[in-house]
Amino acid sequence: MAQDNDSFIREVNEELRSDQFKGAWSRYGKIVIAVAVVIVVATAGHRGYVYWESHNASASGDRFLAALKLAGENKPDEALAAFEALAKDGSGSYPVLAQMRSAAVLAEKGDAAGAAAAFKAIAGEGSAPEAMRDVARLRGAWLLIDTGTYEQVSAEAEVLTGGNHALRNSAREALGLAAYKAGDMVRSREWFQAIADDATAPRNVASRAQIMLDNIAASGKAP
């Protein structure tokens, strides 16, 4: 008898649960379906975007390598055209890389002013990674040593000389050379001395700085 009662109670509970489920489904079923559809569409969209991004990045990589090949084959004009096209419609990091390489090709062609302007434009590009902007700024500063004034070199390089910036000693060297070229031996000595006093300065940079300090001392123009 007890077993029959237990069985009856289970059946009643199952019926109640079934009725509750039907009631809940009638009230919330459309919402559940809508949420499921959104999840499926979002997942498919994300996977589609990842595929699209990966495909475009791969295509841009192939274009970048092809442009590099042109530059290596001493075809600067064709390489420039390829890099400039990639800078306009490439994907991922390739547009900035193309801009950097395009500026380098201009420098190799002897267009130092054009290359310096191109590097300056990259340095001011907010969407480019900070490290790449700093490298562009330094490259531009070095080109300006020969083609510009000390003030122009300083505008690009001095921001890199402070603290523990990774490029600080190369920036100091550019500033020291620009000051030396301008005949400002006192300022030149200050920049080269900053390199000599930096125990972490690369050996080759420190060696060149010491040579310049010796030259400045021999000139007698920096009391």
More confident: 16 or 196:
196
Query: Is the model more confident about 90 or about 180?
Result: 180
For residues 139-144, give the mean pLDDT.
Answer: 96
Domain final residue, candidates 100, 131, 147: 147
Q: Is residue 185 part of a domain?
A: yes
Rounded average pLDDT over 35-61: 50
One domain for residues 169 and 182: yes
Amino acid at the residue 193: Q
Rounded to whole angstroms, what are the CA distances from 36 to 15, 33, 89, 136, 188?
Answer: 27, 5, 36, 48, 69
Q: What is the pLDDT of residue 31?
A: 54
Are residues 108 and 175 located together in one domain of the fold?
Answer: no
Domain that holds residue 95: 74-147
Confirm whether 22 is domain-assigned: no
Of 130, 147, 164, the domain-final residue: 147
Measured distance CA(193)–CA(185) in Å, rounded: 12
Q: Say if residue 79 is in the same domain as residue 118.
A: yes
Task: Report the share of the chain in percent with pLDDT over 90.
Answer: 52
pLDDT at 17: 53
Q: How confident is the model at residue 59 (pLDDT cuts 50, 70, 90)?
A: confident
Total domains, the chain: 2
165 has a pLDDT exceeding 50: yes
For residues 206, 212, 213, 219, the Cα torsion angle rounded to the nearest 10 degrees is 170
| Highest mean pLDDT of the ranges 3-7, 19-23, 82-86, 185-189 | 185-189
Mean pLDDT of 103-127: 91
pLDDT(172) > 60: yes
Give the model's pLDDT for residue 2. Answer: 44
Q: What is the mean pLDDT of residues 52-68?
A: 70
153 and 221 share a domain?
A: yes
What mean pLDDT is predicted for residues 174-203? Answer: 96
**Considering Cα of 187, then 189, then 192, then 194, what sign does the dihedral take?**
negative
Confidence (pLDDT) at 22: 54
Residue 43 inside a domain? The answer is: no
Question: What does the pLDDT average to over 84-96?
Answer: 85
If you ran DSSP here, which 8-state letter would residue 160 be given? G
Final residue before a domain boundary, out of 88, 113, 147: 147
pLDDT at position 8: 42
Least confident of 16-30, 52-66, 96-110, 208-222: 16-30
How far is it, in rounded angstroms, from Cα 28 to Cα 25?
5
What does the mean pLDDT of the chain come to?
81
Identify whether residues 154 and 217 lie together within a single domain: yes
Pair 136, 171 in one domain: no
pLDDT of 111:
93
**Residue 25 within any structural domain of the chain:** no
Highest mean pLDDT range out of 29-33, 121-125, 152-156? Answer: 152-156
pLDDT at 198: 96
**pLDDT > 70: percent of the chain:** 74
